Structure 1
Amino acid sequence: MSAGFQLGVIGSLALSVASSVAIVICNKALISTLGFPFATTLTSWHLMVTFCTLHVAQRLHFFEPKAIDGQTVILFGLLNGTSIGLLNLSLGFNSIGFYQMTKLAIIPFTVLLETIFLKKRFSESIKLSLLVLLLGVGIASVTDLKLNLLGSILSGLAIATTCVGQILTNTIQKRLKVSSTQLLYQSAPYQAAILFATGPFVDQFLTNRSVFAHKYSAPVLGFIVLSCLIAVSVNFSTFLVIGTTSPVTYQVLGHLKTCLVLSFGYTLLHDPFTLRNILGILIAIFGMALYSYFSVRESKKKSTNDALPVSQIRRLNHFWQQKTATTPKKQMVYLTTAKAFLVV
C-alpha cells in the first residue's frame, strides 16, 4: 500500500467525519430550533445539489465522466434512495433507542452478507474489535427499547437495503473501475428522484405537516442552503470512504461520528450527559482503536504476502545465474524446475 494511497484514505476518513458532524449539528438546529422537521425532503434537496455541483465540476473538467450500465445505475440509485427513506420511517415508527439498535445492526449484517456472498473473511481479532465497538456505542446511545411490529419490519428493511447499498457502492467501484465521484455523479439523480417524489408524503405522514405549507423564514432558508452545501461533502466522502476502504470501515466511522456528536451535544449544546454516556464512548473509542490496529496489521500482512512472488523471482534469477555454465540438458531440467517453482 503506497504512502499516497494511505494519505488519500486518511484524508477521506477525516473529510467524512468533519462533514458528517457538521451536517448533524446544522440539521439539529434546523429541525429542533427552527422547527423544520422534513428530513426526507431535505435529503432529496441534498442529493440534487450534490448532482448539480458535480455536473458543474465535470463541465469544468475536474473529473471525467464514465459511462456505466444504465440498469445498474438506476437500480443502485433507487436502492440507496429507498434505504434513506426507510431509515427515516424507522426513526418515525420506533423509539430512539430501537432506531440506534437498528443502526448498530448494520455492521454485523454487513459482515454476514460479505461472508456469504462475497466470500470475504473477517479475522477473530476484527470481529472482537467490532463487538467492543458496538457494545460501547450501545451503552452510550441506546436507552429505551419500545418494540412494535410495523417499526420492526421497517427497521429490518432499512438494515437490508442500507447494507446491500453500501456493499454495492464498494463492489461497483472496484469491478467497473469507476471512481467514487463518477459513481456518485451517475447515481445521484436517481437517488434524488425517488426521495423527491416520496419525501413530502413520508414527512407529512410522520409529522402531520406539509413541507409546502411551511413558512420559510430567512434563517430557515439560510440553514437549508448551508445543509445542502455541507451535504455535497458528506455524499462525496461517503462514496470515497466506502470505495477506498470497505462498507464495514465506513460503518465503524459512522459510530465514531455518533460519539463525536454526543460529545459536541454535551459541550456545545449542553445536552444531558451521564456517566453511562462517558463509559460507552470510551469503550467505543477503544473498540475503534482495536479495529484500526488489527486492520492496519492485516493490511501490512496482505501486502507482504502479495509481494512474495517478487522475492521468489529474485531467488529464481540468482538460482538461474549460478547454473548458466551447465550443459544444455541440465539447463532444461533447471528450466522445468524453475517453472514449477514459479507456479507454486
Structure 2
Amino acid sequence: MGVDYKRDVPLLAFNFASAILIISVNKIVFNSGFNFPILLTVIQYLITWTMLEVLAIGGFFKRLNIPADKHLWVLAFAIGTATAISNLSLKYNSVGVYTISKLLLTPAAVCGEYILRGKVCSKTRMALLAFLCLCVLFSSKTDLDINIKGSICVISWLPVAVIYKVGWASAVKDRGFDTLALMHYIMPYASIFCSTMSFFLEDTDAVVNGDWATYYTFLLLIISGLSAFLINLSGFLVMGLLSPLTHIVLGQAKSAVMMLIGILCFGYNPQAKSVLGAVLAMASITCYTYVNIKEQQNSNQKTNDSREKGSKDIEMVQQRVESQKEN
C-alpha cells in the first residue's frame, strides 16, 4: 500500500489528538472517585460498539456475518485483555519498569511481524527504533523496582499486545476485513474477556456499593466512552492502513510531545536529561518516518517496474504467437 499523505497525516494527527483527549478525561474520571480502570475499559468498549452500531445502521459499513474462527477468537482475547493487563502492570510495577515494558513492545512487534506476517524491518529502521527506545528510556524515570506480580504482568502483556497490534494488521491487510466492520464484530467478544478480568481482579463490592455513582461521574463515563471510540477508531485505522510499528512509534511521540507541552505550557520543570531525551526522541521519530516513507516509495516503484516488465513480456509473447500464426 502506497503513501497517501492526504489520508495518513490527518489520520495520525487525529489519533494523536484523541490520545491526549482520553488521557485527560480518564484522569478526571479517576479523580471523581471511579477507581476501576478495567471496568472503565469495558464501558469504553461497549460505548465504542454502540457508536459502531449507529454507523452500521447509517450504512457506513456492512456487518460481518461470519462464524468466529480461531484467529478472530485470539484477536478478541488479545484486544479484551491487553489494556487490562497494561493497567495492572502500571499498578504493580514502578514507572521505570512500566516504561521499559512499553519499550520492549517495539522489538517484540518487529519479531511478531516477521513470525506472523513474514515482514522484515530494514536495518536502518531497526537502528532508528533502537535509538528511539534509548531516548525514551533516557528521558524517563529509572526506578527499577522489580517484583513477582509486576514481572508476571509484563511477561503476560508483551505477547498479548503483539498479537493485538500485529494480528489486527494481518486481519485488515492480509484477510481483507474492513476496519469498521471488524471493530463492530470484535468488540462484544473483547468486552466479555475484559469483563471477566474486571470481575476477578477488581473490587466488585465497591462497584456494587455505588459510592462513586453520581450524575457527574456518569456524564464523565459517557464522555470517556466517546473519547475511547475516537482513539479506538483512529488506532485501529493506523494499525490496519499503516502498520503496527507506526502505531507504536506514534505512541512514543505522544509521550515525548506531552512532556514538551508540559514544559512550554504548564511550567513543568524536569531534569535536563528528560528534555534532551524527549527532543532526541522526536528527532529519531522524524528520521524513522522519513526512512519509512522512502522505503515504501522504493517498494512501490519496484512493484510498478515488475508489473511493467510483466506486461511487456506478455506483449512480446502475444506478438510472437501472432507472427507464428501469420507464418
What TM-score do the two structures reach when normalised by structure 1?
A: 0.85
Aligned to 2:7: 8
Alignment deviations for residues 100-143 of structure 1 (CA, whole Å, 9 cap, x no partner): 11111101111122224433211111011101211111122233
Give, as a single letter, the amino acid of the residue that structure 2 aligns with 1:291. Y
Q: Is the 8 A contact 1:73 1:186 kept in 2?
A: no
For the residue of structure 1 that corresponds to 2:81, the secondary structure is helix
Aligned to 2:275: 278
Select the residue among 250, 260, 280 that pairs with 1:253: 250
Query: Is 1:129 matched up with 2:125?
Result: no
Residue 22 to residue 263, structure 1, CA distance change in 2 (3 Å): farther
Give distance in 1, aligned partners of 2:317 and 2:98. 64
Alignment deviations for residues 144-176 of structure 1 (CA, whole Å, 9 cap, x no partner): 111012211210110111011211100011232
Aligned to 1:299: 296
- Identity rate, percent: 25
The aligned runs of 1:117-266 (5 Å cut-off) are 117-204=116-203, 210-213=206-209, 214-266=211-263
Aligned to 1:42: 40
Q: Is the 8 A contact 2:16 2:250 kept in 1?
A: yes
The number of equivalent residue pairs is 324
Aligned to 1:56: 54
Q: Is the 8 A contact 1:96 1:143 kept in 2?
A: yes
Q: Is the 8 A contact 2:2 2:300 kept in 1?
A: no
Q: CA deviation at 1:272?
A: 4.6
Q: Is the 8 A contact 2:81 2:197 kept in 1?
A: no
Q: CA deviation at 1:9?
A: 2.2
Give distance in 1, aligned partners of 2:41 and 2:92. 19
Q: Is the 8 A contact 1:95 1:146 kept in 2?
A: yes
Alignment deviations for residues 308-330 of structure 1 (CA, whole Å, 9 cap, x no partner): 13442576589789x88x9749x
Residue 265 to residue 23, structure 1, CA distance change in 2 (3 Å): farther
Aligned to 1:90: 89
Give distance in 2, aligned partners of 1:20 and 1:113. 24
Q: CA deviation at 1:221?
A: 2.7
What TM-score do the two structures reach when normalised by structure 2?
A: 0.89
Structure 2 runs not aligned, ≥5 long:
none
Give distance in 2, aligned partners of 1:311 and 1:135. 43
Q: CA deviation at 1:184?
A: 0.6
Aligned to 1:25: 24
Q: Is the 8 A contact 2:179 2:240 kept in 1?
A: yes
Residue 311 to residue 136, structure 1, CA distance change in 2 (3 Å): same
Give distance in 2, aligned partners of 1:268 and 1:157. 37
Give distance in 1, aligned partners of 2:265 and 2:33. 20
Give distance in 2, aligned partners of 1:75 and 1:112. 18
Structure whose alpha-carbon radius of gyration is higher = 1
Structure 1 runs not aligned, ≥5 long:
333-344
Give distance in 1, aligned partners of 2:66 and 2:171. 10
User: What RMSD in Å do the two structures reach over aligned CA positions?
Assistant: 2.6
Q: CA deviation at 1:210?
A: 2.1
Give, as a single letter, the amino acid of the residue that structure 1 aligns with 2:6. L
Give distance in 2, aligned partners of 1:99 and 1:226. 27
